[in-house]
Amino acid sequence: MKVVAMIMAGGAGTRLTVLSEQRAKPSVPFAGKYRIIDFALSNCVNSNIYNIAVLTQYRPHSLNEHIGIGKPWDLDRAAGGVRLLQPYQVGGGTQVWYRGTADAVLQNFDYVRGLRAERVLVLGGDHIYKMDYAKMLRFHDENRADMTVAVMEVLIEETDRFGIMSVDEELRITAFHEKPKERDKGNLASMGIYIFNTDVLEQRLLASSADHPDLDFGKHVIPEMIRDYRTFAYRFEGYWVDVGTVDSYWQTSMDLLDPASQLNLYDHSWPVRTRSQERPPVKLGPQARVRNSLVANGCIIRGQVERSVLSPGVYVSPGAMVRESVIMNDAWIGPGAVLDRVVVDKEVVIGSGARLGFGGDFDVANKLGPDKLWAGISVVGKGAHIPPNVRIGRNVLINATIEEEAFAPFDGFVPSGETV
């Protein structure tokens, strides 16, 4: 049976603030050496699915460069492989952007038809998890389903973040509630992973698109199909996280350092593949102290690193301390600098003696984005330059490419909740 995977990778990911300002959310670095989309791509290959389309739209350059022709995932194939599909001009020269998740699939249905695929697997490109899609496909076929939705149990207090399914004893879906405010709809949450019979999906997309130009799976397609088709819920009991916020991104990174973490990056039977740069080995200086951390190739550590994740090429100077932080590629941390609960994007320079994540004001939310930075984590955008000896509080947002002069109005101290 021929299966095609359609990976949704066009979202802006605004809740990640500056981390997704210059790149699509699925291309945000994760766990030292990976990108978020590596997990969906690796799941496909490990499940023996080799016909994959990645649907991109928002700032796709970093994602396009990372995926390329798919060689790291064994997807550089004459037959099958990975294709990067972006919005294109239609008749009359009109440019039509993807207006919803289902609309993105509809606009590229010629690709599905050309493959003569019998099943369409729809995935999000911004989730961290390992999953054998072959098991879900067997469940779909055994139940003669027209649509199957992967679900998992979540905490009742988190149900307003997800689409919630009601099912009968045979796991047939009886109702769907999109991010319900009430807490009485159950706790089976949609994971944004769907399997459709190709002919049924095409019929539904064409029938619904006239009334819903912003055609979306959660808002339109799933509720309509529950009424008229055989729709089932596939229970998933492994590790799955939506890293769509700074808090969840940071927390998931810290979870990797837990000896009991459910996400095992060292499982040779289910490898997570990525495009890696050739870098020299990690170098630890005579004063280096590293404890409970992930440190990627090319890092030079002469200071202290505790419970942190360092991407390739990070330099930690003598006397510097990095604690409970995520540091991306080629950041330079000056002598005596202290970082505590900070996410630092690529190519950032942190001056000597600077302190980021200073003080105990964990509950002072960012003034410009209180719904984005509120958990005590400060974020530094790509290429920013932090001046020496400055003190920066909690929930502070430092924009990309900011120069040292931008800190002058703060007179050496950026209070918690500010934006530079």
* 232 and 308, same domain (yes or no): no
Residue 276 lies in a domain: no
CA distances (Å), origin 35, targets 67, 272, 354: 10, 10, 29
- Residue 40 has what pLDDT? 98
- Residue 211 has what pLDDT? 83
* 240 and 96, same domain (yes or no): yes
In which residue are the tokens 């499940």 written? 47
* 304 and 241, same domain (yes or no): no
Q: What single string gives the DSSP state of each residue in 217-273?
A: IIIIIHHHHHHHS-EEEEE--S-EEE--SHHHHHHHHHHTTSTT-S--TT-TTS---
DSSP class of residue 87? -
Query: Within 10 Å of residue 166's Cβ, how many Cβ atoms?
Result: 14
pLDDT in tens, the chain (420 residues): 899 999 999 877 788 999 998 899 999 999 999 999 999 999 999 999 999 999 998 889 999 999 999 999 999 988 889 999 988 766 655 657 888 899 999 999 999 999 999 999 999 999 999 999 999 999 999 999 999 999 999 988 888 888 899 999 999 999 998 888 888 788 999 999 999 999 999 999 998 888 888 888 988 899 899 988 999 999 999 999 999 899 999 999 999 999 989 999 999 999 999 999 899 999 999 999 999 999 999 999 999 999 999 999 999 999 999 999 999 999 999 999 999 999 999 999 999 999 999 999 999 999 999 999 999 999 999 999 999 999 999 999 999 999 999 999 999 999 999 999
* 245 and 375, same domain (yes or no): no
* 238 and 198, same domain (yes or no): yes
Residue 274 lies in a domain: no
Tally the domains of the chain: 2
Among 391, 376, 403, 291, which residue's Cα sits nearest to residue 337?
391
Q: For residue 10, give the amino acid letter.
A: G
- Residue 92 has what pLDDT? 59
* 189 and 57, same domain (yes or no): yes
Q: Please, what sign has the CA dihedral across residues 63, 271, 239, 80?
A: positive
Token pair belonging to 309: 């994740």
* 141 and 219, same domain (yes or no): yes
Q: Classify burial at 92, counting beta carbons within 10 Å of its beta carbon; exposed 0-12, middle 13-18, buried 19 or more.
A: exposed
Per DSSP (E only), the strands in 64-133 are 81-85, 119-124, 127-129
Q: For residue 30, give the amino acid letter.
A: F
* 340: phi then psi, degrees, rounded to nearest 5: -135, 115
* 157 and 227, same domain (yes or no): yes
Half-sphere exposure for 379 (CA within 13 Å, toward CB): 25
Counting runs of H as helices and runs of E as strands, what totals does the chain give?
A: 8, 32
* 249 and 295, same domain (yes or no): no
> Of 255, 274, 303, at which residue does a domain stop?
255
> Of 237, 255, 273, at which residue does a domain stop?
255
Domain range spanning residue 240? 3-255
Tell me which H or E stretch contains 330.
none
- Residue 210 has what pLDDT? 80
Residue pair 389/352 in contact (Cβ under 8 Å)? The answer is yes
* 243 and 333, same domain (yes or no): no
For residues 254 and 247, give the distance between their C-alpha atoms in angstroms, rounded to a whole number.
11
Residue 273 lies in a domain: no
Token pair belonging to 111: 């690709």
Which CATH number fits the domain that encloses residue 64? Answer: 3.90.550.10
Q: For residue 188, give the amino acid letter.
A: L
> Of 255, 275, 304, at which residue does a domain stop?
255
For residue 294, the cross-strand partners are 309
CA 403 to the chain's CA centroid: 28
- Residue 285 has what pLDDT? 97
Which CATH number fits the domain that encloses residue 306? Answer: 2.160.10.10
Residue pair 375/410 in contact (Cβ under 8 Å)? The answer is no
pTM: 0.94
Q: Classify burial at 75, counting beta carbons within 10 Å of its beta carbon; exposed 0-12, middle 13-18, buried 19 or more.
A: buried
